[in-house]
Amino acid sequence: MFIATPEVDLYGRDTRMSKKQAKATETITPPDYTTSVTGILLLAALLTSLVITAARYNTWNSSIIPDFSALLAASILIAVSDALVLKLFNPILKSRPLIINLIAAYLLLMATTFIIGYGLYNLVVDNWSFKISGDWAKISPMQVFIIASISYFIVLMVLLQKSKTSAIRKSFQTANLQALQSRIRPHFMFNSMNSIAGLIRNNPEMAEHALQDLADLIRVLMADVRNLVPLVAEIETSKQYLKIEKLRLGDRLSVQWHLKHIPENCFVPSLILQPLLENAVYHGIEPSFGGGVIDIDMRADKDTVKVLIRNPLPAEGEQSHRKGNKIAMDNIKQRLVRHFGDAASLSSTSRDELHITQITFPIVTNR
């Protein structure tokens, strides 16, 4: 008998990161100059001002603080200007290869530095001398060039490493989502095939419709887990699943849907409802001799959707061979957290001979 492991799903497929995904984690993508660049440049400005001030003075005197303040103000102005220039040219830089991207960014930073520096020089010519000297008492153009080059090299390397780390994190998140999704391989598929096989001779038309529903469900199982799906599509998938189970269970299964104010532009991770409904069938309807009703209450309130799934609890003697597990619940919780963070929740409770599962998630557009 084949046993699924965290690396292999029930169909024997490897759920670990593919070679293509692994290669993607090793590919260095160009930095994004729209995020965190201002803070990094301001930090570089502070450190540069400290280094220059320390180099200009061998001993403490009263002019250090005013000079440091003036130098820091100039460095902050240059850093903010650098950040604005990079953000302005970011769309163009992103479309270029990595080497060209970095060289172009470096040239933009150097050009901005000398343009702003030249303007400041004209404003404070009496306080700044650009004559080349043999000591560190004055700042020469060559010293400015060296300091700026070192600073911007470090800044670009920090941004590059940040971009690489972000790309690796996204790749691992995608691989983890695929591993989670691959573990949702419902056993109902095997039962459904048996039910459909029994219909082929007696009711071929119904068997054909059932096969179409099953094919649609399999297509959802194989979908890209990185993409969210419309909530209305997730509801339709759940209805298709319950139609197939209805063929197998007959009158023992009844379903009631209560849908109120469901937004069409709401997107959710795929297969967040079907596994919960499968649990309701497997642990609630199947063990009960007389079956029961699965009640799905879904309603939207402002920016949140709340879903309640109720199913009967079997009699104590009927449930002895069906100890429930929380694999589906834990799986869905992890995927909700990865997509929505703390804005989503999933919980379950039992009372009044009913098992109630509640799932809450925000109304978001597709990302």
| C-alpha span between 147 and 133 (Å, rounded) | 16
**Residue at which a domain ends, from 160, 176, 192:** 176
Query: Nearest 5°: CA angle at 94, between 90 and 100?
Result: 105
Q: Look at residue 12 and tell me if it is in a domain.
A: no
Regarding whether 214 and 142 lie in a shared domain, the answer is no
**Contact assessment for residue 58 and residue 190, using Cβ atoms and an 8 Å cutoff:** no
Regarding whether 222 and 312 lie in a shared domain, the answer is yes
Regarding whether 116 and 198 lie in a shared domain, the answer is no
Torsion, Cα of 286, 289, 295, 296 (10° steps): 0
Q: Which residues constitute the domain of residue 28?
A: 21-176
Regarding whether 122 and 52 lie in a shared domain, the answer is yes
DSSP three-state, residue 15: coil
| C-alpha span between 276 and 282 (Å, rounded) | 10
Sign of the dihedral through C-alpha 299, 300, 301, 307:
positive
Regarding whether 265 and 171 lie in a shared domain, the answer is no
| C-alpha span between 21 and 18 (Å, rounded) | 5
Cβ neighbours around 161 below 10 Å, total: 12
Q: From residue 27, give the alpha-carbon distance in Å to each of 20, 46, 92.
A: 11, 32, 20
Q: Where are the alpha helices (DSSP H) in 16-61?
A: 19-26, 37-56
Regarding whether 206 and 121 lie in a shared domain, the answer is no
Phi, psi of 105 (to 5 degrees): -65, -40
Domain with residue 263: its CATH number is: 3.30.565.10
Q: Look at residue 3 and tell me if it is in a domain.
A: no
Regarding whether 353 and 246 lie in a shared domain, the answer is yes
DSSP three-state, residue 54: helix
**Contact assessment for residue 292 and residue 250, using Cβ atoms and an 8 Å cutoff:** no
Amino acid symbol at 219 = R
Regarding whether 190 and 105 lie in a shared domain, the answer is no
| C-alpha span between 317 and 334 (Å, rounded) | 33
Regarding whether 339 and 355 lie in a shared domain, the answer is yes
Take residue 15 and report the two structure tokens written for it: 């759920």
Q: Look at residue 215 and tell me if it is in a domain.
A: yes
Regarding whether 193 and 158 lie in a shared domain, the answer is no
Amino acid symbol at 226 = R
Tens-digit pLDDT string for the chain (367 aa) = 333 444 444 334 444 444 444 444 445 677 778 777 888 888 888 888 888 777 777 777 777 888 788 778 888 888 898 889 988 998 888 888 888 888 898 899 888 888 887 777 677 655 544 443 444 445 556 666 777 888 888 888 888 888 777 777 766 666 665 555 555 455 556 767 777 887 787 788 888 888 888 888 777 766 665 678 899 989 988 998 898 888 878 889 999 999 988 888 899 988 889 889 988 988 889 888 888 999 999 999 888 999 999 999 887 655 544 555 577 788 788 888 888 888 999 999 988 889 999 999 999 876 5
Q: Look at residue 133 and tell me if it is in a domain.
A: yes
**Residue at which a domain ends, from 123, 158, 176:** 176
Regarding whether 318 and 247 lie in a shared domain, the answer is yes
Regarding whether 269 and 187 lie in a shared domain, the answer is yes
Q: Look at residue 50 and tell me if it is in a domain.
A: yes
**Residue at which a domain ends, from 142, 176, 210:** 176
How many structural domains comprise the chain?
A: 2
